[in-house]
Structure 1
Amino acid sequence: MSQKLDSKVAVIGIDIGKNSFHIVGQDRRGALVLRQKWSRGQLEARLANLPPCLIGMEACTGAHHLSRKLQTLGHDARLMAAKFVRPYSKGEKNDYRDAEAIAEAVQRPTMKFVAIKTADQLDLQALHRVRERLVSQRTGIINQIRAFLLERGIAVRQGLNLLRAELPGILGTRTDVLSPRMLRVIEDLAGDWRRLDERIEGLSGEIDALAHHDKGCERLMTVPGVGPIISSAIVAAIGTGDAFSKGRDFGAWLGLVPKQMSTGDRTILGSISRRGNRYLRKLFVQAAWVVLVKLGPEQWERYGLKSWIEAAKKRLHHNVLAIALANKLARIAWAVLHKGRAFEYVKTNATASRSA
Structure 2
Amino acid sequence: MSDYSYFCGIDLAKNHFSLHAVGVEARGGAYYWTRTLNKLGHNARIMAVKYVVPYRTKGKNDLNDAVAICEASQRPSTRFVPIKSPEQQAILSVHRMREHWVREHTALINRMRALLSEFGLIIPVGRSSLMKQVPLMLEDAENELPLLARTVIADAYHHLDELNQRIVDIEQVFDSFAKVSANVQRVMKVRGIKPQTATAILTSIGNGSQFDESRDFLARLSTKAIFDGRKTSLRPDNQTRRPILTNTISSRRKDRDCQPWRQAR
SS in structure 2 at match of 1:11:
coil
SS in 2 for 1:76: coil
In 2 relative to 1, CA 148–61 (structure 1 residues): closer, same or farther, beyond 3 Å? same
CA 1:297–1:139 in 2, change beyond 3 Å: closer, same or farther? closer
Residue aligning to 2:263: none
Task: Could you tell me which runs of 5 or more consecutive residues in structure 2 were left unpaired when the two chains were aligned.
Answer: 260-265
- Match of 1:23? 19
- SS of match in other structure, 2:59: coil
**Does 290-299 or 75-84 show the bigger shift?**
290-299
For 2:154 and 2:29, locate their aligned partners in 1 and report how far apart those are by CA, in whole Å: 41
Cα displacement (A) at 1:256 = 4.1
2:111 matched to 1:144?
Answer: yes
CA distance in 1, matches of 2:18, 2:12: 7
Is residue 245 from structure 1 mapped to residue 245 from structure 2 by the alignment? no
CA distance in 1, matches of 2:142, 2:112: 16
Instruction: Check if 1:63 corresponds to 2:23.
Output: no
CA contact (8 A) 2:119 2:145 kept: yes
Spell out, residue by residue over 1:243-281, the C-alpha distance to the aligned partner (whole angstroms, 9 max, x if none): 112221112123343469x9xxxx699xx9994322322
Q: Is the 8 A contact 2:137 2:143 kept in 1?
A: no
SS at match of 1:216: helix
101, 125, 128: which is aligned to 2:95?
128
d(CA) in 1 for partners of 2:140, 2:60: 63
Distance in 2 between residues matched to 1:290 and 1:224, nearest whole Å? 11
Aligned to 2:241, which of 243, 261, 281?
Answer: 281
Residues 6-47 of structure 1: CA deviation (Å, up to 9, x unaligned): x8761111111122221111xxxxxxxxxxxxxxxxxxxxxx
Matches within 5 A, 1:70-219: 70-173=37-140, 175-219=142-186
Deviates more, 1:103-112 or 1:120-129: 103-112
Q: CA separation in 2, counterparts of 1:289 and 1:136?
A: 20
Let me know the Cα RMSD of the aligned residues: 2.8
Q: Distance in 2 between matches of 1:297 and 1:197?
A: 28
Identity of aligned residues (%): 34
Q: 1:256·1:274 contact (CA, 8 Å) conserved in 2?
A: no
Structure 1 residue 82, shift from structure 2 partner: 0.5
- Larger Rg computed on CA atoms: 1
- Check conservation: 2:10, 2:69, Cα contact below 8 A: yes
Preserved contact between residue 156 and residue 162 of structure 1 (Cα < 8 Å): yes
Give 2:254's aligned amino acid: K
Q: Is the 8 A contact 1:124 1:236 kept in 2?
A: yes
**C-alpha distance in 1, partners of 2:187/2:18?**
41
**Count of aligned pairs between the two proteins:** 259
Q: Offset at 1:287? A: 1.7
TM-score by length of 1: 0.67
Relative to 1, partners in 2 of residues 1:222 and 1:171: Cα closer, same or farther, differing over 3 Å?
Answer: same
Aligned twin of 1:353: none
Counterpart mapping for 1:291-310 below 5 A: 291-296=251-256
SS at structure 1 position matched to 2:65: helix
Residues of 2 paired with 1:82 and 1:20: CA distance? 19
C-alpha separation between the residues in 2 aligned to 1:249 and 1:283?
18
CA distance, structure 2, for counterparts of residue 212 and residue 295 of structure 1 = 27
